[in-house]
Amino acid sequence: MMNTALNPITITAYRWVPQLARGLVRDLRVRWALEEAGLPYTVQFCWPPSDQASTEYRQWQPFGQVPAYARDGLELFESGAIVLHIAEQSESLMPTDAAGRARVRTWLFAALNSIEPPVQELAGIDLFHRGEAWTQQRRPQVEEFAKRRLSALSAWLGEREYLVEGRFTAADLLMITVLQILRHTDLVAQYPALKAYCERCEARPAFQKALRDQLADFVEQPPAA
């Protein structure tokens, strides 16, 4: 299924981010998928920040963000699209039957489209706008919305170990990295099924390696531009 004659994969990542973002930068999703798939990769660092604004990088990642992916002339961006592309080549992230693949895609979109928006908005308020007057009104609304989504997700999981197909898939990988955005809160811990689900997936050696590698790539201080 996998074409091993292809050249190595390159992904982009940051050389430095503040402590609060370490372990959350979205190249982690891609690193994790590549580890699960057993595909080696090299990292191209976006530094100095002006690199991200360069015409060259914008041709690769139009919004100047991390991560981006390249292999043999195929350049991709959006962590979800990259993880899906990797999953489509690896049975370790997706079943082979058409119905199973469609279910994985469905939950992959649910992670990014139904869970990530409230989760990201809450994190944005807490991590980047803490104490600002407007957040006093907005935060409770966003938290309530996030909890409604987490509650529904927890109900779906119930006794299930994974979202779909009775096995770990790319959908779980993305869902877990979305839930991790709430690590500064106790929201996930309020749902025992979700907490156990996160612990189960985070115990995977591929996740542990991906996280170790992302953290190891950061330097303590921003390098001189």
Q: Is 79 in the site for ligand GSH (CB under 6 A)?
A: yes
The Cα 93–Cα 83 span in angstroms is: 9
Taking the complex as a whole, the smallest distance from the CB of residue 193 to ligand GSH amounts, in Å, to 25
Q: Are 82 and 69 in contact (CB under 8 A)?
A: yes
Instruction: Kindly indicate which of the ranges 65-73, 128-136, 177-185, 203-211 contains the residues binding ligand GSH, using the contact rule CB under 6 A.
Output: 65-73
Region near ligand GSH per CB under 6 A, out of 78-86, 129-137, 144-152, 170-178: 78-86
42 Cβ neighbours under 8 A, 6+ residues apart: 8, 9, 10, 11
State yes or no: residue 78 binds ligand GSH (CB under 6 A): yes
- Nearest Cα neighbor of 82 from 18, 33, 126 is 33
| Site membership for ligand GSH, residue 142 (CB under 6 A) | no
Locus of tokens 């991590």: 127
Alpha-carbon distance of 189 to 178, in angstroms, equals 14
Q: Which structure tokens are listed for 87?
A: 């999953």
Query: Which residues have CB under 8 Å from 108's CB, separation 6+?
Result: 80, 83, 84, 87, 170, 171, 174
Determine the interface stretch with ligand GSH among 73-81, 90-98, 160-168, 209-217 (rule: CB under 6 A): 73-81
Is 25 an interacting residue with respect to ligand GSH (CB under 6 A)? yes
Q: Is 213 in the site for ligand GSH (CB under 6 A)?
A: no
Q: How far is the CB of 6 from ligand GSH (least distance, A)?
A: 22
Whole-number Å distance between alpha carbons of 12 and 31: 10
119 binds ligand GSH (CB under 6 A): no
Is residue 31 at the binding interface for ligand GSH, with CB under 6 A as the rule?
no
Number of Cβ atoms within 10 Å of the Cβ of 189: 11
Q: Rule CB under 6 A: say whether 65 interacts with ligand GSH.
A: yes
Of 64-72, 91-99, 100-108, 205-213, the segment contacting ligand GSH by CB under 6 A is: 64-72
Nearer to ligand GSH, 66 or 70 (CB): 66
Which residue of the chain is nearest ligand GSH when measured via CB?
65
Report CA dihedral (47, 180, 93, 3) to the nearest 10 degrees: 0
11, 33, 66, 111: residue in contact with ligand GSH (rule CB under 6 A): 66
Interface residues toward ligand GSH, by CB under 6 A: 25-26, 64-67, 78-80
